Amino acid sequence: MQTMTNGWAGVMTILSWSLTLVLFGGCNKPKPKAPDTPPPPPVSSSSDPDVGNPSVAQQGPGNQTPGSTGLIQPGVVNPGVIGGSGGGGGTIQAVRKAARRTQARNELQQLGLFIEQMRDPFGKMPTREQILQELRQGYPQLYQAIQEGSYILTGTTDGSGVWAYEVEADIRPGLALIGGRVVSTTPEELVRYLRR
């Protein structure tokens, strides 16, 4: 009986401390604030009058289409939602183009740093063959991009000239590695630099 009394006394002590913490805010945690405005009602762009209607949505699983779980599926994307009407082709293409441009800029910057490190102490530029040989060993991804024709490696001996450029930068605006810097260039500008 003595053990039981001591056990209850311990439980009562813990409950008393817990109640004190709750009543007097002993945890010093800020209380969450209630939102100032209620959340906006769901917006539906569907022509179906039942879509977005709370009274229909609350009726239960009987309103779901066959095979539907009624849950939002992560990873399932409707291209029309991303790009608006018309299937989203323009927006998706613009995103892909921006990603390719960023990748090209990064790869040309890496190539510029690599060539800069290969210059001798007197500033003499390495030959195209020397650059390709070193790229094959040290940067196989850049070597492959040049071999596949993504970039044209000029092999210039002029340190301020065009070291490399995107494959079609001579016919439409693109990126070029000029004097060790990556620059956006028009075909006319690139041709002028190449003729120097």
Report how far apart, in Å, the C-alpha atoms of 188 and of each of 97, 174, 184, 192 are: 22, 11, 12, 6
Tell me if 51 is assigned to some domain. no
Q: Where are the alpha helices (DSSP H) in 25-127?
A: 54-57, 79-83, 89-118
What are the residue ranges in the chain where pLDDT is below 50?
Answer: 1-5, 11, 19, 21-23, 46-61, 63, 68, 70, 80-81, 83
Would residue 76 count as lying in a domain? Answer: no
Contact 25, 19 (CB under 8 A): no
pTM over 0.85: no
Angle CA(145)–CA(146)–CA(150) in degrees, nearest 5?
Answer: 65
Q: Into how many domains does the chain fold?
A: 1
Residue 111 lies in a domain: yes
Residue 45 belongs to a domain:
no
Q: Which domain covers residue 131, as residue numbers? A: 93-195
| Domain-located, residue 16 | no
Q: Is 70 contained in some domain?
A: no
- Those residues whose C-beta lies under 8 Å from the C-beta of residue 134, and which sit 6 or more positions away, are 114, 118, 126
Query: Is the residue at 140 inside a domain?
Result: yes
pLDDT tens for each residue of 142-154: 999 999 999 999 9
pLDDT tens digit string along 152-163? 999 888 888 999
Q: Is residue 104 part of a domain?
A: yes
